[in-house]
Structure 1
Amino acid sequence: MTSTCSLADLAKGIDALFNEFSGPEMPGAVVAVTENGREIFANAYGLANINDDVPMGRKAIIRIGSQSKQFTVLLILMLEAEGKLSLEDEVQKHLPYVPRLEYPVTLGQLASNISGYRDYLQGMIFGGLSLFAPSGRQAARDVVARQDALNFKPGSAMMYSNSGFFMLFEIIEQIEGATFNEILRKRITGPLGMYDTSLMLRDGSVMKRLAAHYTKRAEGWAHLGWGMEYGGGGGIVSTLDDMVVWQHNLIEPKVGTAEMYRRMATPCVFDNGATGFYGLGLVTDVYRGRRAVGHGGSVAGGESESMRFVDDGLGVVIIANNDQVAAFALARRIADIYFDNALPASIELASGRYRQEGGPDVFEIIAKNGVPTFLRYGVGTRFDFGNPGGAKPESGITDLVLSPRPDGKIDGTFCGTPTVYAPLNPNARAAAPLAGRYANTAQGIEVEIEGDAQRGMFRLRSDLGAMNAPIVAADNDLWFLLQPDTDIGPGLTWNATLSVTADGFEINASRLKKLRFTHV
C-alpha cells in the first residue's frame, strides 16, 4: 500500500510529534520511516549529549532495551536448527541452577513470556537490591535460583518476564562457549554489516559516539543508568542506520530464515484457546485493522520501538536517549499520519481506582489533560479506543482490554480470561493494621511493618540489600506499597499491592506475583 499522505505532509506531521525535543539543551530521538523497504523519511531531534552540545544523529549509538530480545531468540532458533537445543527442552536440561517449581517450563515458553517465572529485575527490587546499585550476573542468577513459586501455570497467561531472556542468554553462551557479543557479531550483526550494534553490559561504559541517557526530574534533565549488568534481554546498543538494516532483514532475510521470522511473529495460544499477541521475541498486534509486528524497549534513560505493518509495507523505527519519548504510541501516531487514520470515538470510563473482584490487581483511570489515562504499578498510558474488544492501554506489552458496565464496574479480559473490576473506596481503611514482623525464608527476606489501619512504613531487609517505603490502605484486606519518599494521590501510583492472608501477606507487582510472607 502507498500512503495517501504526501511525503511533505508526513515529514511535517512527524516533526510536530517530536517538536518538544528540538529545543536547546534537550535530549532527543532518531526516527526513520520506510515504505516497502525504501526509506521515505528520517530525522534526528535534540542532543545525543547535553553537556557537550553534541547533536543527535543516525550514527549515534543508543540503548534499544528489550528490542534485544528478538536477537536473543533468533540465536536460539539458529542453535535449534543446528540440533544444539530444542524449544521443547525443559530449562533445567541446560541450567540446573534454575528451580523446577510447580510445573515444568520449556525454552519456548521462556521466549514467549508464558513461562510463569517471575521477572528477575522486579525480584531484585522486592529482594532489596536496587537496579541502580552495582551488581553482577551472579546476583541475577541468585534471584532466579531463589524463586519459590510461579506467577501462573505455564501457558495459561502471558506476563512479561526478563528472567526468561536472561536464561536464554546464559544458554546461548554456554552452548557456544563464547560471549554473547562474539556470537552476535559472528552470526547476525557482522554478516549484516551492523557494526555499531553490540551488547553493552553496563551503563557507564565508554564507546565512541555513545549517546548519554537521560531522565526528567523537577529540576531538569539528569543522567540515568542502572548499576546492574545487562544481558540478552535488554543490553544491546545500536544506531538508526543499523536498526533500519535489521528491519529490512526481517522482510528479506540475509541472516536467519523467513520461517524463523514467521515463528517469531506467530502469537502464543493460551491453554484456554485464546490467542495472545507475543510470539517468540516479537509482538504481533492489530492496530486500526492492520497487522503490526515489532518490539519496543525501555531502559534507564532510553525508549525505542521498531514496528512493521507487514501487509501494508510501512515500517517505523524510533530510538530515544531519554525516558519521556512514548515510542510505542508515537510509532502508532506516525502510522495514523501515513494511513490518514481517523481518531476513534472515546469509550466512557469513569475516573477512579478499580480492584479486581476476588483478586489483588488494581488500576486507576484519571483524566490527564482531558484525556483518559490508565495507571497501574507506576506506569501510565493512554487508551487505544479503536481496539475491537474495548479500551486497551496503549502499551506494547499488555493483554488487558476494558469496557464499562451500567452498574459502574468495568469488565476486563486478560489473556482470554474475563474478570470484573469494581470501584475502590478512595477513603478505604484496612480491617486491621499490618504491623508486625514477617519473613520469606526461601528467599532470605525479612520485613518489618509499623503503622495503623490507614498508613504504615514497610522495611525490607535481605542479604541483597534493603528497601524502605510507605504503605497506604487500599481496601479492607489490601495495601498499596509506594515509591520511597512519596505519598499517593491522583497520578502517583504504587509499586505493588500487599494482599492480607491468614498468616501474613503477599506482594503482587506488574511482573511478580504471589511473593508470600508469613508472621514470625
Structure 2
Amino acid sequence: MSPWVADIEAAVDSVLQAYHRPGLPGVSVGVLAQGEVRLRKGYGLADIAGRRPNAPDVPMRIASLSKQFLVTVVLMLEAEGALSIDDDVHRYLPDLPDYGTPVTLRDLMSNQSGVRDFLELRLLCGGNFSDPATADESYALVKSASRLNFRPGTAFAYSNSGFMLLTLIVERLEGRSLESVLQSRLLSPLGMTQTHLARSDIPWLAQRAVPYVVENGCAARGEWSIPLDGAGGMISSIDDLLKWARYVADPASPHAAHFRRMARARPYADGTDSPYGLGFTVMPYRGLDSFGHHGQLPGVFAEIAWFPQIDAALVLLANTTEINPFHLGRRLADALFPAALAPRFPPEVVPPGHYYDPGENRVLRVLRQPDGENYLDSAMTRAPVEWHQAGRFRPYWPMLHLQLAAQDDALVGHDGPRAVAYRRLPTGYAGAPERFTGTFYLPGLESLWRISLHDGQLTLALTGRFGTRHFHLTPLTDEVLIATPAQAPDGHYRPTLRITGAHGQRRLMITTDRTSRLVAGEMLPSTDR
C-alpha cells in the first residue's frame, strides 16, 4: 500500500496556496517519488514589477544548497587521489593561522571545525551584507580569527568559512575556477542547464526570480553584496534540482557511494551523532530518515529533502523571507505521505520568557503564539519547536543541535554532546542600566564596542574595519544583555552579551549561534579611540 495521498497537487496546495497572493512573491515546489516527478508548480510572483509568476523553470539563488555540490566535487577529488578529507587544511592553505590543533577537510565539511563564520565576523567588524565587499576581505577575516570556537570534532557550529576554504582548495588543485569545475564535473553531464555558480548579481539574469524581504505585507528587494562561492553562490531552478534529486537518490549513479557518505551524520568525538553529515543536514522526521539542506539569503529561502525509506524527495525555492523552509518542507511531508509517518509526540507546556545558561553564555527565548504553538528564539534564528521525543523538543531548524526538556522553570538537555541548563530569568530588569556603560576592545577583529545610556535606553555602537553598526540593548540581569540591530537588521541577529569584573577591568563576552569564546577587554577613558 502506497504511503502517498491520492491527490498530490491538492495536498501541496493545502500547504502552499497561502503564498499564491496578488502582488506578492511566493514559492515554487517539486515533488519526486520513486524517481518520477509527481509535481512541479509555482505560487506567487517571481517579479512583482513585471507581473511574472513563479514557475518551476524560473531560476533563483539556492544559497547553502550549493554546499552539497561542492562537497561532491571534493569527494570526487579524493577518489582520484588528489586529496584526503582527513588532511589538515594547512596542507593546502598554509597561510591560515595556527589553530593549535589540526583542522581537517572533514571537519570543515561537517561544520565541526570550530573555524569562525566569515559572514558573522563581518557583522562583528561593523559591516553588513549589503555594502560592497570582496572575496579577499572575506578570506582576510578568516585569517584574522586564530582562536577556534571549540576543539574540532567536539561540537557543531554552522560555518560558511569551512566551505569557502574548500572552494579555494578545489580551485588550487584543479587549476581553474569552481564555476568551471562544477560545470564540467556535474552540471553539464546531468543536463542542469539552468544551474551555475554566480558569485555576484552582476550581471543580473533577466529570467531570474527577484528576491524580496516582506514585512507587514510590503515587499522590498533583498540586497546582498558579499561574493559567494561554493558556500552559497549557486543559482538553479526546481526543474534542475529535481534532476539532481533523482541523481542523488539513484543507487546506480556513478557517485552513489559519495552521496551515502554525505548523508550519514558525522559523529562527534564522543561517538554521539551530530545533525550534519558532509554537506548534508541529517535529521530524522517522525520516524523517517531524512537528509538534505536548507538555504537562506535576504529574500531567498530554499530547501531540498530526501526521505530514502519511501524513495521521496521534496524541493522548495522561495523568493520571500516569510517562511521557514525546513519547517515548510516537513509540513509538505505531513500532507503528502502521512501513512509513512509515526504519530507526533504530544506537546507539553513550556513557560514563555528568556532562559540563560552561564556556561554557554547564551540566551534562548520561548514565545507562545496565539494558536498555542511555541517558538524558540536564539541569537540567529526564530523557529517553531518539534516534540521529537516524549517530553523533549528541538527547534525546527537543523543549524541548531539543541534537544531540550522543560523542568522546574528551566530548559535542560544537550547542545550537541554538551549538557546544558538554561534557567528562566525574571521578567523585567529592575537594576541600574548605567552599570553597563563603557568601551571595550576586541583584539584580532580590532573592533570597539561602546555601550552608552541615552534617555534611559542602552545602546551599543560597534565600530570595526567595515564601519559602525548600532544596536539597542536589553538588560536581563546585572551582567547579561541582548543586542538587537537598531536599523535594517541582517536577518534575525541578537547576540548575547555578558559583562563581568570590576570597572576598569571588566570583560565583555560575546556569543551567538555561530560564535563563542569572544572576549573584549575594557578600555580606560584615556585610551578610548
**Structure 2-normalised TM-score?**
0.92
The verdict on how the C-alpha distance between 1:170 and 1:254 changes in structure 2, with shifts beyond 3 A counting, is: farther
Q: Which residue of 2 aligns with 1:224?
A: 222
Q: CA deviation at 1:100?
A: 2.0
Give 1:463 shift: 2.2
What's the secondary structure of 1:181's corresponding residue?
helix
Report the counterpart of residue 381 of structure 2 in structure 1.
379
Gapped regions of structure 1 (runs ≥ 5): none
Q: CA deviation at 1:148?
A: 3.3
Whichever residue aligns with residue 18 of structure 2, its letter is E
Q: Which position in structure 2 is the counterpart of 1:484? A: 486
Q: Equivalent residue for 1:3?
A: 3
Cα deviation, 1:191-237, whole Å, max 9, x if unaligned, reads 00001111111135322411111111246101102111111111111
Q: Please tell me the residue identity of whatever aligns with 1:354.
A: Y
Structure 2 distance, partners of 1:401, 1:289, is 17
How many equivalent residue pairs?
Answer: 513
Corresponding residue of 1:420: 421
CA contact (8 A) 1:430 1:474 kept: no
Output the CA distance in 2 between the equivalents of 1:99 and 1:386.
Answer: 40
The 1:240/1:485 distance shift into structure 2, 3 A limit, reads closer
The answer for the alignment partner of 1:86 in structure 2 is 84
- Superimposed CA distance per residue, residues 160-215 of structure 1 (whole angstroms, 9 cap, x where no aligned partner): 01110111111111111111111100000010000111111113532241111111
SS of the aligned residue for 1:141 comes to: helix
Counterpart position of 2:346: 345
Query: Which of 184, 187, 205 is 1:186 aligned to?
Result: 184
CA contact (8 A) 1:59 1:209 kept: no
Alignment match, 1:404 = 406
Who is 1:499 aligned against? 498
- Tell me the equivalent position of 2:307: 309
Deviation at 1:312, TM superposition (A): 1.2
Which residue of the partner structure matches residue 467 of structure 2?
Answer: 465
Distance in 2 (alpha carbons) for counterparts of 1:330 and 1:40: 18
Matches within 5 A, 1:265-280: 265-280=263-278
Matches within 5 A, 1:128-207: 128-207=126-205
**Are residue 436 (structure 1) and residue 435 (structure 2) matched?**
no
Kept in 2, the 8 Å contact 1:403–1:410? The answer is yes
Q: Using a 3 Å threshold, how does the CA distance of structure 1 residues 190 and 471 change in structure 2: closer, same or farther?
A: same
For residue 519 of structure 1, the aligned residue among 507, 519, 522 is 522
Counterparts in 2 of 1:204 and 1:26: CA distance versus 1, 3 Å: farther
The structure-2 alpha-carbon separation of the partners of 1:12 and 1:423, relative to structure 1 and needing over 3 Å to count, comes to: same
Any idea what the Cα deviations from partners look like across 1:410-435, whole Å, max 9, x if unmatched? 21211132211111112225686222
Matching residue's letter, 1:336:
D
Q: CA deviation at 1:152?
A: 1.0
Partner in structure 2 of residue 235 of structure 1: 233
Give deviations 1:51-86, integer Å, cap 9, x for gaps. Answer: 000111111010111110001111111111122111
8 Å contact from structure 1 (residues 192, 255) kept in 2: no
Deviation at 1:354, TM superposition (A): 0.7
- For structure 2, the residue ranges without an aligned partner over 5 or more in a row are 524-529
| Paired position in structure 2 for 1:13 | 11
CA distance in 1, matches of 2:449, 2:393: 38
- State how far apart, in whole Å, the 2-side matches of 1:54 and 1:452 are: 47
Structure 1 CA distance, aligned partners of 2:360 and 2:193?
48
Query: Aligned residues: percent identity?
Result: 27
Counterpart AA for 1:504 = R
Secondary structure of 1:328 counterpart: helix
Alpha-carbon distance, 1:512 to partner? 1.4
Query: Pairwise mapping of residues 226-375 of structure 1 onto structure 2 (< 5 A)?
Result: 226-252=224-250, 256-340=254-338, 341=341, 342-370=343-371, 371-375=373-377
* Per-residue deviation, 1:508: 0.8
1:343 Cα offset (Å):
4.9
Partners of 1:470 and 1:485 within 8 A in 2 = no
1:2: Cα distance to partner? Answer: 2.3
Give distance in 2, aligned partners of 1:369 and 1:204.
43
Q: Which residue does 2:40 correspond to in 1? A: 42
1:500 aligned partner, one-letter code: I
Q: Matched residue of 2:29: which SS?
A: strand
Q: Secondary structure at the match of 2:179?
A: helix
8 Å CA contact retained: 1:102, 1:150: no
Deviations 1:476-513 (A, max 9, x none): 211111111499xxxx9762011224332121111111
Name the SS of the counterpart of 1:57 in structure 2. Answer: coil
How far 1:242 sits from its partner (Å)? 0.5
Q: Is the 8 A contact 2:63 2:233 kept in 1?
A: yes
Give the Cα separation in 2 of the matches to 1:486 and 1:465.
15
Q: Distance in 2 between matches of 1:110 and 1:378?
A: 21
Alpha-carbon distance in structure 1 between the residues aligned to 2:143 and 2:132: 19
